Amino acid sequence: MKLNKFKMSMAVLLTAVLPFSNLWAEDRSSQNQDAEHRLSEMQNAYRKSNFELYFVKQSIATAEPISFSHGVVDNRQYSHWLYLNGVPMGYFSAEEIIAYFRAGSQPELVERGVPPFLIGRFNTVSLDKVYSNYVPVSVGRNRIAGRNVFMIRLSPKKNDRYGYVLYIDEITKILLQADVVNPTDGQMVESYMATHFVNTSEPNKIIQKINEAYLNDPVIIEMTSRGHDVSDSGEGEAAVTDTGKNKRAEEVRKLGWGLSYVPSGYELVKIERNSITDQNSEAEHLLYTDGLSDLSVYRIKALEGSEYPVVKQGITNLFRYRADPYEIVVVGDIPVETEKKIAESYSVPGNN
């Protein structure tokens, strides 16, 4: 009798709870769909807009003021990023060419490069790639730099990379701010904190000068006219094709060593060997990206008597691992626990 009463009570409880559970699931799905819609609007707005954005890149130990301009001329996109403290340095982009500059030095041009900072990447990355590694959720509204914004949280599907909170202007749909958060406790690790935003009908003078350089600079003209094989470019998201993957897999096998663990979603986009003159040896370098963050793995000859610390600067971490006679160095915008796991997965075939 008591057993029957217990079963009846459980049935009543489930009948009461399940509808609310379904409502929660439906609400969660609605939040996901709204977030995806906001992100799509954000990227579309970026491709068509002229604006200036000033913000501070802030972490625990540093705060760097930065200006960022974007503009469109004859359907061509240009952008300009400048650090406002210290020696003038930054980059500008013209379509798929990125030029890194520093006062007193010649600019370094990169074909099919990806923006080197987070706000630029969010505006250009494949959203399908983002959704394969992160869960987007609308989490409300806020006010940033005197403007009303939508807030979108991107939670990593695994705790092997950082999460993000994006602040998208309600009117222009432009991304104004991005916070990087720890995947385990949700604490902010770094932030691109917007301080001032100006939306304009025409590109500013900086963008107009970049357009003139794009049309008249002989080096840029030569780069844009000759074309290239995307699979061989070795840079950026566009380089990750089936042909490129197969070629790089073969190059990794020729290295004679490998990694048994790399976080899911990170694709190998570059392999290089550089000579180290003072050590009379080589540094082998593997570069991976998930579209939003990069990680590099280096194998170098181990130094006698050197220590192997962890170095942290904002969201960028460096982890060193001794694997005699080599040292494995992992550096990137990922949690140090992930870097440790990557480094310790190093192996040489036949030595296991």
The pTM (predicted TM-score) of the whole model is: 0.83
Last residue of a domain, one of 174, 195, 227: 227
Mean pLDDT over all residues of the chain? 83
Beta bridge partners of 150: 141, 168
Number of domains, the chain: 2
182 and 254, same domain (yes or no): no
Residues 264 and 329 in one domain: yes
Percentage of the chain exceeding pLDDT 90: 56
Same domain, 219 and 164: yes
Q: Are residues 184 and 160 in the same domain?
A: yes
User: Of residues 4 and 298, which shows the higher confidence score?
Assistant: 298
Q: Which two tokens stand for residue 161?
A: 């990379």
One domain for residues 313 and 242? yes
Among 197, 227, 257, which residue terminates a domain? 227
Three-state DSSP state, 181: strand
What DSSP string describes 66-122? EEEEEEEETTEEEEEEEE-SSS-EEEEEETTEEEEEETTS--EEEET---SSHHHHH
Do residues 207 and 86 both lie within one domain?
A: yes
Q: Does residue 272 share a domain with residue 317?
A: yes
Q: Which domain holds residue 317?
A: 237-347
| Residue that terminates a domain, selected from 227, 256, 277 | 227
Tens digit of pLDDT for each residue in 139-195?
A: 999 999 999 999 999 999 999 999 999 999 999 999 999 999 998 888 899 999 999
Residue 232 in domain: no
The dihedral formed by the CA atoms of 192, 195, 196 and 197, expressed in degrees to the nearest 10: 30
Same domain, 154 and 192: yes
Residues 214 and 164 in one domain: yes
Same domain, 218 and 277: no
Looking at the fold, whether 49 and 150 belong to one and the same domain comes out as yes
Q: Is residue 100 part of a domain?
A: yes
Give me the CATH number covering residue 242. 3.30.200.100
3-state SS, residue 303: coil
Taking only the tens place, the pLDDT of each residue in 244-282 is 566 666 777 778 898 999 999 999 988 988 877 666 678
118 with 201, same domain: the answer is: yes
